[in-house]
Amino acid sequence: MRTILCIFFLPACLLGGVFEDQVVPILERSCLKCHGGEKTKGKVDFSGILTELDAGDHLDLWETVVEVVELGEMPPEDENPLSPDEKKGIRGWHEEFLKLPVETAIPVFRPRRLSANEYRNTLRSLFGFDLEVGIARAEQTESGDKSLILKILPPDPPGKSGFFNDTHSTPLSSSLLENYTYLAGISLDRLFSIQGKDSLARMTGQNEDWNGEITPDLAKKIVRSFLPRIFRRSVKEERIKLVFEQLEGKKGKALVAGLKFEFKAALISPEFLYRGFLAKQDENKNRQPVDPFELAERLSYFLWEDMPDEELFESAGDGSLLEKGEVGRQIERMLTDSRARNLSESFGVQLLGLSSIDDQIKNNPIHLHALRTQPRDFLHYLFTEDRPIMELLDSNVTFVNQSTSGFYGNDRKRLAPFHKPRGIERQRTMNQRLEIKEAEGRGGILTMPSILSMNHGPILRGTWVLRTILGVRLGEPPGDVPPIKPPLRGKKMTFRERFEAHRENVTCARCHEKIDPIGFALDGYDKNGRYLLASYHNRGNQPPIDTSGKLPSGEEFKDFEGLKRILTTTKREQVIRNLTKQILSYALGRKLGRGDQGVVDKITVKATLENSSWKELLIEVANSASFREIVFK
C-alpha cells in the first residue's frame, strides 16, 4: 500500500501568508504529480489546498503528513530524504498551525437537509404513526425495514464527515421535493381520517368520546399545537394569525381541506426540511451561543435522530435548557428512552461499518439477523448503561441468541431456554445479555463473530482496526500490487509465511508494517469468527498459528490478548481521541475543522484521565463549544 505524501517543507514555521507564498509552490512542484494532477494516489489530493483556510479543512490529512514524515515513510525511497531540520520544521509548523485562534477556522454554519432516517422519525413523531409498505412478511425469518418513507426517499450518501446525516453536499432537488410533497400529503390524509382519529385526539387533548368532527375552534387549537411542532420551535403570533385568516369562514370538509393545505405547505418548507434553518442570529455577532430551540434540536437529532419531545421542547421554551447542568440531565433522561436505540443503530453502525455484514451472508437470513444485531445490542448497552468507553474493546458482557451462542462455549448454558413455536422450522430470536466467564478468546467488539466475518483475513482485520479503532489514515493499495504467491508444491506454509515474501516489496511494506501485526494477532479466528485456538478445538495436522507481533512503535505482544492490553493502555488515548472525533463529527453533522481541534483535545484528555463512560463522553460533546456555539457569516 503506497500513500505518497511527497512534501518538501521549508524548515521554518509556515503560517499566515507564508503558506500561500511558500507551501503551495512546494506542493505544486513536489506533490501534485501523484496527488492532485493526473493522479490522486491513496485518495490524497492537494490540488484544492491553496490557502491556509483550505488546509484547516483537511486537518486529518496534515496529521498524517506529520506522522509519515516523522516515521521516515515519506518521501519514498526514490526521492531525496528530508533532513532532521526539515522534519522538525514540519512538526513545528503543524503545532503552530493548531495554535492559531480558532475564530479564524470555525466553519460557518450552514443548515442541512434532514437525512432520510431523520425525516422518517420526525414524521412519525409528528403524526403519531409510521407509514409502512403493505407487504406481507414472514416475520420469523425476514428482516428489513417496512417504512414507506425509506422505500421512496433515495438513500443518503455519506458526506465529507463520512456519516449519512452530513447532507450538506446533497441539497433539496425538484424530484426530492416531489417525494416530500407526496409523503406529506398521504400523512395528512391519514391524520384527518378515521385511521388518524386517535393521533389527532392526542394532539388536541380530546377525550375518548370525541366524534372526530373538526370545528372552527378545534381547527385553531390544532394549528396552535401542530405548527410549532412542525417548525420545532415557538411560532410568532403573526404567523399563526395568517393561517387563521386562510381558514376564516370555512367549516366541514372545506375546513379540513384548508388545514391540510396549510400544513402541507409547512411540511415541504425549508423551515421543516432543514436542520437549523430557523436558528436565530444576533446581527451584532458572528459567533454566538445557539438559541435554546436550536440546542434542543441538536440534542434530539444527535441521540435520537428525531425531533425534540415535549419535555425538551418545554425546556427550550422556558429557557431552562441553557441552565448549568441541564443538558447533562436531559441526556441522562434521553438515554433511557427507546429512541436512544438510534444512537447504536445509526452512529454505531456507521462508526464500525456494520452494514458490511450484509455482504457476507446471502442465503441465511436467520444467521444474518444474529450477526447484525449482536454488535448493535452491545453498543446500545455501552451507550445507555453508563459503561466505560474502553469496554468497547474489553468487556465481559456480550449479547447472543440461538444463532450466535455456539461461539461462546459453556457460557451459553446460562441462557434462558428457547422454545420454538409449533409449526415454525426456523425463527429469528432476540439477543440475551450474557456474562462471559469461560468462553476463550471473547470479549469486546473485536472478537465478535460479525466483526471477524465481515473482515475475514488478517489484512482486512488489521486495516479495519487501524482505521476504525485507532483512526489511522491509510491510503488505497496501488493497482500494481503483486499477488501473494502460493506455497511450493509439497511444502506446507501458513498464510503468514507466504505473506512474508509479499512484504519484501518496498511499496507494500510501508503500510503492512502497521497492518500485519494487528491482523495476524486476529488470525486465531477463522473466516466465520470461530476461535481456532480454543483449548477444546483439535487442529489435527494443521500448522501452528502465530499470533505474535511487534507494532511500529516497538511494542511487542505474544497473542491477541497482549495486543488488546496495548490498545487499552498505551494506545488508550489514541483510541479515545479517534472515538471523540467520530462522535463529535456525527453530532455536528459535518466534517471537523481546525477550529474543533481544541474541543477534541480537551475531551480526549479528560476522558482518558478520568476513565470516562460513554454517557460522560456524550455530555462532554453536547457541552462543547463546537456543539453549543454557532458562527454566521
**Per-residue pLDDT reduced to its tens digit, 240-287:** 999 999 999 999 999 999 999 999 999 999 999 999 999 888 777 888
Residue 414 per-residue DSSP state: G
More confident residue, 614 or 483: 614
Rounded to 10 degrees, the C-alpha dihedral 188/191/194/199 comes to 180
Summarize pLDDT for 600-624 with one digit per residue, the tens: 999 999 999 999 999 999 999 999 9
Which range in 48-57, 77-86, 177-186, 504-513 is most confidently predicted, on average pLDDT? 177-186
Q: Is the pLDDT of residue 1 over 60?
A: no
Q: Provide the grid cell at 258.
A: 384548508
SS3 content of the chain, % helix, strand, coil (to 5): 55, 5, 45
d(C-alpha 511, C-alpha 64), whole Å: 13
CA 129 to chain CA centroid, nearest Å: 27
Summarize pLDDT for 206-251 with one digit per residue, the tens: 888 898 899 999 999 999 999 999 999 999 999 999 999 999 999 9
Phi, psi of 367 (to 5 degrees): -70, -35
- Residue 513 binned pLDDT confidence (cut-offs 50, 70, 90): confident
In this predicted structure, which of 234-248, 360-374, 487-501 has the lowest mean pLDDT?
Answer: 487-501
Which range in 313-317, 480-484, 495-499 is most confidently predicted, on average pLDDT? 313-317
d(C-alpha 73, C-alpha 76), whole Å: 6
What is the arithmetic mean of pLDDT over 477-501?
65
R_g of the chain computed on alpha carbons: 28
Helix, coil or strand: residue 346: helix
Helix and strand totals (H; E) in the chain? 28, 8
Cα dihedral 97, 103, 109, 115 sign: positive
- Residue 474 binned pLDDT confidence (cut-offs 50, 70, 90): confident
Q: Provide the grid cell at 493.
A: 506454509
| AA letter at 267 | L
Residue 515's Cβ-side half-sphere holds a number of Cα atoms within 13 Å equal to 26
What is the arithmetic mean of pLDDT over 370-390?
97
Rounded to 10 degrees, the C-alpha dihedral 321/327/330/334 comes to 130
d(C-alpha 321, C-alpha 303), whole Å: 16
Helix, coil or strand: residue 238: helix
Q: CA triplet 467, 457, 585: central angle to 5 degrees?
A: 20
- Residue 13 binned pLDDT confidence (cut-offs 50, 70, 90): very low
